[in-house]
Amino acid sequence: ERGQWHLSNSREKLAEHLKATGGKVITRFPPEPNGYLHIGHAKAMFVDFGYAENVGGECILRFDDTNPEAEKQEYIDHIEDIVGWMGYKPSKVTHSAHYFQQLYEYAVKLIETGNAFVDHQTAEEVKLYREERRPSPWRNRPVQESLKLFEDMRAGLIDEGKACLRMKMDHKNENYNMFDLVAYRIKFMPHPITGEAWCIYPTYDYTHCLVDAIENITHSLCTLEFESRRASYYWLLHVLGTYKPLVWEYARLGITYNVLSKRKLKKLVTEGHVSGWDDPRLLTLAGLRRRGARPQAIKNMCREIGITRNETEIPLHKLDYHIRADLDTAAERVLAVLKPLKLVLTNLPEDYSHTVEAKLFPSNPDSGTYPVPLSRVVYIEETDFKEADPDKALKAPGRPGEKKEKFFGMAPGKECVLKYAGLVMCTGLRKEGDKLVEVHGEFQPLKAGQKLPKGVLSWVGQATPGREPPRFEARLYDRLFNTASVADTGEDWLEDLNPKSLITVEGAMATPRLAAAAVGDKFQLERLGFFCVDPDSMPGKLVINRTCTLKADYNK
């Protein structure tokens, strides 16, 4: 039997299991509620929920909550919320803590069958002895003694650190994870679910496989770092004679210019390097949601990269690509100006007040429209105007290898299209000192069949002549770190934070449609990128996040 036990499921156990599942595939997604979920967890959900969905099975959301010092109700609530946001419906929501009594009884059985003992080595001694493959001096103490001490541990009669329960595995094994792992430790600490009921808590290694067996999980899918723990997983189920799930591992997801471990994310949050777990620069799911990404984009990326066993970091631009492609079909277009420059249409009267119809999806002739006020004073993008037309310089001979970019914006003497409205011939400008204050132009409505200049400008008009359009704050994001592989920078990883990862633009101008948007609404601001209304918005103060630009940046 030895050597085969990890594959064998006794006939009776399998029959019991089949009766419980009805032959259905049951998976679980087992987050520890010690932080917010990140995009790596989205991959895990894609595997756990996705596999079950594909084969008509079910997936349990199980909080793997065996470390009360790190776990919080806030995290539990958030995880349930964000799993729902991703569009996954767990067949039930459970906690490892729900099984603490059953796990305790299994531990007593382990001791009784000579498969566990109470140990008194310190953490350092355990580590040293394990490295030297030496057994603990307490390993062969009488069963009765261990039973009594374990009861004392449970009753709170032994101090923290003075005793633990260890599994009596195989300290001669090649696999470090077979060397008498700790099953229970003493922690005088309340638990978010069980409160003060327990002062001993089971470890991950002890709990995970047992709860998988108790919940009749058919496929226990996890990341590759657990591969070396497969042996201990099956060892424990074997000695306790339970049913054995199938275990299968896949590669963890990493993304360039970011960190994904909860330990690092927590440090960024608690030390104030970002505004919170949902800072749009983080690849937490809450951050991605706030930034404006939709769950489908995240799932599409997971599908594209596939479920493989080779560990690679996915380039950030791949995630951007999926977010952009998904929003492209979903987010209606709207005109807005980030850095407004006043343009006076001098041939229109002071009280001129019209509306033009702008397209929700310009590339689709049948898409609907929304009204944009057109007035004598409109605002264009500051970067769309140049006092001296660089196009003229284009005609002059360049230096060898010089790349000249064509300028399609406005310049004195040049004609441009004011998008959806008409043509403007730039006739002049007004300066105060060195500062450009306004540009002047003459406006002409578009005529059918007319040949148009190449330059097309985004703009915003005044709904009430003489009154400025509503302003908003735009938050533009860049990658959070300057180094592609942050994991390779060791403990100095914080030094690689990009100081310009957030650029706040105040005083951007909105068309009325954008000004009336609600938190979470998503738009493409024409030419500027995809944006999403931020929860920091208040009546009279709109804040919007740039989710992504319109063009890929392959340097990410």
Annotated catalytic residues are 32, 252, 262
**Nearest-angstrom CA–CA distance, 424 and 411:** 11
Q: Which is nearer to ligand ATP, 44 or 199 (CB)?
A: 44
DSSP category for residue 120: -
- Tokens 């109470």, residue? 118
Pick the binder of ligand ATP from 153, 165, 222, 457 (CB under 6 A). Answer: 222
252 binds, among Mg ion, ligand ATP, none (CB under 5 to 8 A by kind): ligand ATP
Q: Does 223 bind ligand ATP (CB under 6 A)?
A: yes
**Nearest-angstrom CA–CA distance, 115 and 112:** 7
Nearest by Cα to 331 from 545, 88, 40: 545
300 binds, among Mg ion, ligand ATP, none (CB under 5 to 8 A by kind): none
Nearest by Cα to 289 from 522, 526, 50: 522
Number of residues that bind ligand ATP (CB under 6 A): 15
**Nearest-angstrom CA–CA distance, 222 and 234:** 15
Q: Does 31 bind ligand ATP (CB under 6 A)?
A: yes
Shortest Cβ 144–ligand ATP spacing (Å): 37
Shortest Cβ 223–ligand ATP spacing (Å): 4
For residue 10, which phi and psi values (nearest 5 degrees)?
Answer: -60, 150
180 binds, among ligand ATP, Mg ion, none (CB under 5 to 8 A by kind): none
Residues 61-90 vs ligand ATP: string with x where CB under 6 A?
A: ---x--------------------------
Sign of CA dihedral 512, 515, 521, 525: positive
Q: Does 43 bind ligand ATP (CB under 6 A)?
A: yes
Shortest Cβ 260–ligand ATP spacing (Å): 5
31 binds, among ligand ATP, Mg ion, none (CB under 5 to 8 A by kind): ligand ATP
The answer to whether the beta carbons of residues 137 and 98 sit under 8 Å apart is no
Shortest Cβ 475–ligand ATP spacing (Å): 26
341 binds, among ligand ATP, Mg ion, none (CB under 5 to 8 A by kind): none
484 binds, among ligand ATP, Mg ion, none (CB under 5 to 8 A by kind): none
* Per-residue tokens: 287: 């951050």
Stretch of 24-32, 93-101, 106-114, 448-456 contacting ligand ATP, by CB under 6 A: 24-32
* Per-residue tokens: 93: 């929501």
222 binds, among Mg ion, ligand ATP, none (CB under 5 to 8 A by kind): ligand ATP
DSSP category for residue 162: S
Shortest Cβ 278–ligand ATP spacing (Å): 16
Q: Which residues contact 510 (CB under 8 A, 6 or more apart)?
A: 336, 460, 469, 470, 471, 472, 542
Q: Which residues, numbered 257-316, are part of the site for ligand ATP (CB under 6 A)? A: 260-262
43 binds, among Mg ion, ligand ATP, none (CB under 5 to 8 A by kind): ligand ATP
* Per-residue tokens: 14: 């399998």
Sign of CA dihedral 40, 42, 43, 45: positive
Pick the binder of ligand ATP from 253, 314, 323, 515 (CB under 6 A). Answer: 253
Pick the binder of ligand ATP from 252, 386, 471, 556 (CB under 6 A). Answer: 252
* Per-residue tokens: 204: 């991950």
Shortest Cβ 44–ligand ATP spacing (Å): 3
**Nearest-angstrom CA–CA distance, 117 and 184:** 10
**Nearest-angstrom CA–CA distance, 232 and 371:** 66
Q: Which is nearer to ligand ATP, 223 or 300 (CB)?
A: 223
**Nearest-angstrom CA–CA distance, 165 and 457:** 72
Pick the binder of ligand ATP from 32, 80, 152, 478 (CB under 6 A). Answer: 32
The residue number whose beta carbon is nearest to ligand ATP equals 40
Nearest by Cα to 69 from 120, 111, 33, 112: 33
* Per-residue tokens: 445: 């409505």
41 binds, among Mg ion, ligand ATP, none (CB under 5 to 8 A by kind): ligand ATP
**Nearest-angstrom CA–CA distance, 71 and 69:** 6
Rounded to the nearest 10 degrees, what angle do helices 100-112 and 143-155 cross at?
Answer: 160
Pick the binder of ligand ATP from 17, 41, 294, 359 (CB under 6 A). Answer: 41
CA distance readout (Å), 541 to 161, 396, 519, 528:
54, 47, 12, 20
The residue number whose beta carbon is nearest to Mg ion equals 32
**Nearest-angstrom CA–CA distance, 334 and 360:** 7
Amino acid letter for position 127: K
With H, G, I as helix, E, B as strand and everything else as coil, classify residue 449.
coil
Q: Does 209 bind ligand ATP (CB under 6 A)?
A: no
Stretch of 26-34, 301-309, 422-430, 492-500 contacting Mg ion, by CB under 5 A: 26-34
Q: Which is nearer to Mg ion, 32 or 152 (CB)?
A: 32
Pick the binder of Mg ion from 5, 16, 21, 32 (CB under 5 A). Answer: 32
Positions touching ligand ATP (CB under 6 A) are 30-32, 40-41, 43-44, 64, 222-223, 252-253, 260-262
Report the interface residues with Mg ion, using CB under 5 A.
32
